[in-house]
Amino acid sequence: MNIDPVLAELRELIKDDRFIPNLVQKLLLDNPHRVRLTLKPDPELAKRKVQAELDQLAAIKSALADDEKLAIITQAKRLAARQMEEDDPGLLPKVGLEDVPETISEPERFDTVLSTSNAPVSYYGQGTNGLCYQQVIMDIPQIDQELLDVLPLYTTCLTEFGVGARDYAETQAWQAQVSGGISCFSSIRSDLNDVQSSKAIISFSSKCLADNHPQISELLHSTIHEVRFDEDKRLQELIEQICARKENSITGQGHSLAMSLASSRMSPTALLSHRSGGLEGIKQLKALRAQMEQKSSRIELLDKFKSLHDKVLAANKEFLVIAEPEHRSQLITDIDSVWGASVGGTNDSPLALNPLRESVRQAWSTTTAVNFCSKAYPTVASGHADNAPLQVLAGFLRNGFLHRAIREQGGAYGGGASQDANSASFRFFSYRDPRLQETLADFDAAIDWVISTEHKAHQLEEAILGVIASLDKPASPAGEAKQAYFNRAFGRTLEHRVQFRKQVLSTTTADLKRVAGLYLAPEKASIGIICNKESAESLDIQKLEIINL
């Protein structure tokens, strides 16, 4: 517990440049101790666990006296009755609809252009405590499916490669020296009124102290123009890391993956999401990881990155800058001096995806003891008047029916519904669910419940407040500015968002019944399931396709 003398000794020891290398030599390289541990998968493990639990329950039951069995039955009946009772919402203080403002605001934006190139710059003067944020933003150009499939890997790996004469390790040291990190991401969203149309952009982003702004301008410029596509071993390491993260995330975000699967053919952006970050993307990534053992495959992938990058470079660029108001002139001057005339592009053909509006019924099997279920129904885009009541309907179903039926009675960790305007689909889901067929039936029962039952006013109010809470979720000053910028970039203007807010606040129970009957018809349902192979084969669903992950 007396750590000070230990730290004092360590400070002396590390004055020797060979301290760490000597430890590595002594404790690792020259260490004769070895343990070889071999793990062999048991294909019967899940069955044996289930059987062991059944045997244990049978033993417990056989040891119970008649009065103990009766007590358990009585307790179970009391639990079922309690689960069907309605809670009294008046017991706790609450926010009411009268407390919700009808209007919202967004940070003030200053638009200008660079003097040397006329490239657009959007500046938000926000209280950032001395930090400044810079993004270089371009439209994603028209590319073929082969390059579109590698886009997620390209954006993830690009800032992990070397730049110019620096290798990746030296580049990472440069990034850490002048910035809080650099990232690249793509964002593809459907049109406000038509999910068959979309807008796609790619952004290079970084942040730093205001004094370091010239350096991150240089860092972003060099990364975009001088990134190296020759570090094939580094690429292999990155693919291994990405694939491991994706595989480990399946049970953590299985409900999201199941919803993405169920709605994957509702729109071109939904299919792209499924192919890039969904189950199809994970399957392709696993196959790619095996190919990375071959140098020729690594070079081929890097060539695709290079081809995609050349097309991105040909797009016009614009800049987003967020910092305190007094730094505006200097920061814009920094960008102008670094970028000069290298901003302009020649590619005026933005990405256009092929139209798609189909249903899907698939179960993906993997090694999991729990299930993730989803049903999706085609609905409307963000600009449609019915988007607001559908958003309210999702919370209404979750609070009023799905939580009780799927979690409390069904034993799942969670369950609910959401209206996804980006794919124009309404999606039910369950999370870490011991059931399958019964949960799908509960989704149908939830629709019948909302249409055929008379509902109380407080249920509607809770659902509306839930939507408003998600809209009014607090963010940092920089986060608010980023949201405002990208909302506008994708056509979600302040006027549109105020109108949507008013539509949410004016939603009635009659609206919920109407949209549920209009859009959530059983014959329109798409199904997406993640489970193990045995459970998938036991499902009684017509035209169900089973895919091994």
Q: How far, CA to CA in Å, does 109 sit from each of 328, 341, 472, 481, 485?
A: 11, 24, 20, 8, 8
Question: Residue 239: its pLDDT value, please?
Answer: 95
Range of the domain at 400: 91-104+359-548
In-domain check, residue 406? yes
Question: Residue 231: its pLDDT value, please?
Answer: 95
Q: How far, CA to CA in Å, does 508 sit from each of 178, 380, 393, 497?
A: 53, 18, 10, 19
Give the position of tokens 């899907």.
360
In-domain check, residue 488? yes
What is the pTM (predicted TM-score) of this model? 0.85
Which residue type does 116 have? T
In-domain check, residue 290? no
Which residues in the chain land under pLDDT 70? Answer: none
**Domain co-membership, 365 together with 463:** yes
**Domain co-membership, 99 together with 1:** no
Q: How far apart are CA 47 and CA 52, in angstroms?
A: 9
Question: Residue 340: its pLDDT value, please?
Answer: 84
Which token pair is 38?
């071999």
In-domain check, residue 525? yes
In-domain check, residue 401? yes
In-domain check, residue 228? no
Question: Residue 93: its pLDDT value, please?
Answer: 81
Q: Which domain CATH number covers 425?
A: 3.30.830.10
Number of domains in the chain: 2
In-domain check, residue 431? yes
Alpha-carbon 494 to chain mean position: 24
In-domain check, residue 460? yes
Spatial CA neighbour of 320 closest among 481, 486, 135 = 135
Spatial CA neighbour of 329 closest among 117, 481, 123 = 123
DSSP 141: B
Q: How far apart are CA 136 and CA 134, in angstroms?
A: 7
Question: Residue 542: its pLDDT value, please?
Answer: 87
Question: Residue 373: its pLDDT value, please?
Answer: 96
Which token pair is 171?
């580049």
Q: How far apart are CA 415 and CA 195, in angstroms?
A: 26
Distance from the first to the final alpha carbon of the chain: 49
3-state secondary structure 201-232: EEEEEEEEEHHHHHHHHHHHHHHHHHECCCCH
